[in-house]
Amino acid sequence: MPLTRLDITDFRNLASIKIEPISTGFNVFYGLNGSGKTSMLEAIYYLGLGRSFRSTIIGRIIRNSTEKFLIFAHGGASHDQTISIGIERLLRGEMKIRIGGKDARSAAELAGITPVQLINSHCYNLLDAGPVFRRKYLDWGVFYLNQDFLRVWRDCIQILKQRNAALRRQRPKKELDSWTEELVSKAALMDRFRRDYMERLQPILSETLSELISISGLNTSYYPGWDKTANYRDILEASFDKDRLIGHTQFGPHRADLKITINKIPAKDILSRGQQKLFVCAMILAQGALLNTGANKKPIYLIDDLPAELDIVSRTNLIALLSKQETQIFVTAVEFESLGDALSRFPLRMFHVEHGNVTEVRR
């Protein structure tokens, strides 16, 4: 759902911001480092997911000497079908979410109507960090394409907590059998959801990659969290003594991963930093394309410092590929000139950010 109006109050160094972004095309925030550009993206991210991508400490997010922040937006697919969404977070911890004038029960409702995809320096974690980042990437996509996923995922997490608690208490195997059976059942569903999603994503990812970067010998394979050639129940049986010794379940959907290799070598060990950025962008844009075709939704892209580590050709190709999705994009850059030529052919709205103030710049 594109945002047609955005009001931000007391978020980071943004005291009072009111802008009207372009719904389809590029919204560019440019200005010096520390001016508040990334905070603009962070506020939009918070509106979409109910959390920050920079800090979990609320005192660092609420502007100094204030007690709360407010983020409010109007959005919708057309002018005659709009919805209001808002989030208020108090310094003492409370959070209120409103969607269409009604209180929301959880941040998951925000995510359901405002899919947000972030591309920043931390996105390299998809390649060079642990499986948790690739698992989150995978589950982001499954969440939007399968209405049962969130329920099953929550059940699975709860079952794992109960089973692990019993393991730590050294409970007898017979007592754990019920949790094990439930885990096997939920794990089978999680595996099917994720596997089906990857089968749909793979061809789109290959096509997207071909428009950004040429890589031979690339292989992206899904790992369910246990040996996929073996029966999961048998694996839990065989690992029971070790599980009880260490106090947690070693194998399961909570250990799922994507194995990304080039000629059987981890991609992170072969690709340059610029190539890694293009690869990660392709992964994220492929998800956006599948979201559009599979769920009739378009994500909002947030891209922090788009020009960084990309040459002019790569930058131009990425911007063209983003434009093809005909969705709403928010981009930051220190200087608009670093993007100007590549953006000149596309719908564009520019905002200058200085000392926490945001001013639209007319072309």
Distance CA 200, CA 138 (A): 12
Cα-based angle 224, 226, 229 (whole degrees, multiple of 5):
95
Of the candidates 362, 224, 200, the residue with the CA atom closest to the CA atom of residue 292? 200
Q: What is the mean pLDDT of the chain?
A: 92
pLDDT digits (tens, 9 = 90+) for 226-247: 998 999 999 999 999 999 999 9
Residues 6 or more apart whose CB falls under 8 angstroms from that of 316 comprise: 341, 342
Q: Which residue has the tokens 């071909």?
A: 210
Q: Does domain 1-115+298-363 have CATH number 3.40.50.300?
A: yes
pLDDT 10s digits, 201-232 = 999 999 999 999 888 888 999 999 999 899 99
Rounded to an integer, what distance in angstroms lies between the CA atom of residue 8 and that of residue 53?
Answer: 17
pLDDT of residue 248: 95
Size of the chain in residues: 363
Question: What does the pLDDT read at residue 101?
Answer: 87
Rg (CA), the chain: 22
pLDDT surpasses 80 at 76: no
Q: Model's pTM, two decimal places? A: 0.93
Q: Quick one: which of 127, 130, 122 has its CA closest to 262?
A: 127
Nearest alpha carbon to residue 85 among 95, 72, 76: 72
Cα(83)–Cα(105) distance, integer angstroms: 17
pLDDT tens digits for range 6-40: 999 999 999 999 999 999 999 999 999 999 999 99
Give 300-331 pLDDT, tens digit per residue: 999 999 888 888 899 999 999 999 999 999 99
Gap between the Cα atoms of 281 and 289, Å rounded: 12
- pLDDT of 156 strictly over 60: yes
Calpha distance 138→333 (Å, rounded): 28
- According to DSSP, the β-strands at 348-354 and 257-262 are unpaired
Q: Is the pLDDT of residue 79 over 70?
A: no
* pLDDT > 90: percent of the chain: 78
Q: Confidence class of residue 77 from pLDDT cuts 50, 70 and 90?
A: low
pLDDT band for position 80 (50/70/90)?
low
